């Protein structure tokens, strides 16, 4: 028996990386997750008490600064992302960084400022269910993400819903990029080796929180992204000292195993 286990370990380098050993029994407690978005309805019954800080970007004296926010979330996008994260990691500490307006739109400068704020705060996980297609932001975003990577901040970015690539989701070396799939199990995520957008997570008809105490069913890459952010919060609770590279290795290993299990199930049926 011992010889068989040794042979298995030798042939399967990542055999010890399983959901049971990685996040079973975890809730995300103590893990700081920044949501750079349209704000969060902090009074929503499912979110009340889970938002540790809410700030918003404003223009003051020709520069972007942050102040405490009491504006809530008119667009609903940030509240929806927060609800998904807390479904997966109910005790994660959420930090709302508001950079989008009523139509879930905003400037590239605000986006950069929000990401810079989160990195300077050394957030463990940063959820970016937003992006830009404007090439002038390629360089500044790339530099910011390199800094986030070296600071140990794990950035999770949603792919563009349109065929056009968006930044920063295509910077797959310094962040975790996510695209939507059908299915409701947040832990049954997949991995597309060799693709620009690597991870696949639930993002079709996802039921989640909406401003005013309600819920909606939403579809989009924006709502696949926070599923992975929540999973990472569980991993970081279990192993607080992990680097972004190590977290990505764990995600990819389990995603490949998920895919293998799915393929076996299809063959059996």
- pLDDT tens digit string along 251-262? 999 998 888 777
Give the model confidence (pLDDT) of 214-248 as tens digits.
999 999 999 999 999 999 999 999 999 999 999 99
- For residue 267, the model assigns a pLDDT of 73
Residues 109-118 have a mean pLDDT of 96
Distance, CA of 252 to chain centre: 15
Catalytic position from the list 44, 77, 96, 129: 77
Q: Which of 69, 129, 222, 227 is catalytic?
A: 222
Q: Tokens representing 62?
A: 């020709």
Q: Output the 3-class SS for the chain.
A: CHHHHHHHHHHCCCCCCCHHHHCCCCCCCCCEEEEEECCCCCCCCCCCCCEEEEEEEEEECCEEEEEECCCCCCCCHHHHHHHHHHHHCCCCEEEEEECCCCCCCCCHHHHHHHHHHHHHCCCCEEEECCCECCHHHHHHHHHHHHHHHHHCCEEEEECCCCCCCCECCCCCCCCEEEEEECCCCCCCCEECCCCCCCEEEECCCEEEEECCCEEEEECCHHHCHHHHHHHHHHHHHHCCCCCHHHHHHHHHHHHHHHHHHHHHHHHHC
For residue 8, is it within any domain? no
> Catalytic residue at 77?
yes
Residue 37 bears catalytic tag: yes
Whether residue 13 is contained in a domain is answered as no
> Is residue 269 flagged as an active site residue?
no
Q: What is the pLDDT of residues 31-72, one digit of tens each?
A: 999 999 999 999 999 999 999 999 999 988 888 899 999 889
pLDDT tens digit sequence for 12-33: 666 778 888 888 899 999 999 9
pLDDT mean across residues, the chain: 90
User: Would residue 6 count as lying in a domain?
Assistant: no
Say how far apart CA 64 and CA 137 lie, in whole Å. 16
| CB-count exposure of residue 223 (10 Å: 0-12, 13-18, 19+) | buried
Residue 3 lies in a domain: no
pLDDT over 60 at 249, yes or no: yes
Over range 71-84, report the average pLDDT: 96
| Residue 15 domain flag | no
In a domain, 12, yes or no: no
d(CA 236, CA 131): 25
Distances (CA, A) of 2 to 10, 20, 198: 12, 21, 36
Percent of the chain having pLDDT more than 90?
73
Report the distance separating Cα 243 and Cα 182, nearest Å.
Answer: 30
Tell whether 11 is covered by a domain: no
Say which of 37, 69, 129, 174 is annotated catalytic.
Answer: 37
CATH of the domain at 150: 3.40.50.200
Name the residue range of residue 87's domain.
22-268
Number of folded domains that form the chain: 1
- pLDDT class for 11, splitting at 50, 70, 90? low
């Amino acid at each position: 028996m011992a010889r068989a286990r040794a042979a298995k370990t030798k042939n399967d380098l990542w055999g010890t990386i399983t959901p049971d050993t990685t996040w079973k029994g975890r809730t995300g407690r103590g893990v700081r997750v920044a949501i750079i978005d349209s704000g969060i309805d902090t009074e929503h019954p499912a979110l009340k008490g889970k938002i540790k800080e809410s700030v918003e970007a404003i223009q003051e004296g020709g520069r972007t600064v942050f102040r405490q926010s009491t504006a809530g979330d008119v667009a609903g996008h940030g509240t929806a992302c927060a609800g998904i994260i807390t479904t997966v990691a109910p005790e994660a500490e959420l930090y709302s960084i508001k950079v989008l307006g009523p139509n879930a739109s905003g400037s590239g400068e605000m986006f950069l400022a929000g990401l810079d704020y989160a990195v300077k705060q050394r957030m463990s996980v940063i959820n970016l269910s937003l992006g830009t297609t404007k090439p002038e932001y390629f360089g500044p975003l790339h530099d910011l993400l390199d800094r986030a990577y070296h600071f140990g901040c794990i950035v999770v970015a949603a792919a563009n819903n349109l065929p056009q690539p968006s930044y920063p989701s295509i910077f797959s070396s310094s962040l975790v990029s996510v695209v939507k799939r059908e299915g409701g199990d947040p832990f049954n995520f997949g991995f597309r080796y060799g693709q620009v957008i690597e991870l696949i997570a639930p993002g079709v008809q996802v039921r989640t929180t909406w401003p005013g105490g309600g819920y909606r069913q939403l579809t989009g890459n924006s709502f696949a992204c926070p599923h992975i952010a929540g999973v990472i919060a569980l991993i970081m609770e279990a192993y607080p000292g992990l680097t972004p590279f190590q977290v990505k290795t764990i995600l990819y290993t389990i995603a490949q195993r998920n895919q293998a299990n799915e393929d076996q199930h299809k063959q059996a049926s």
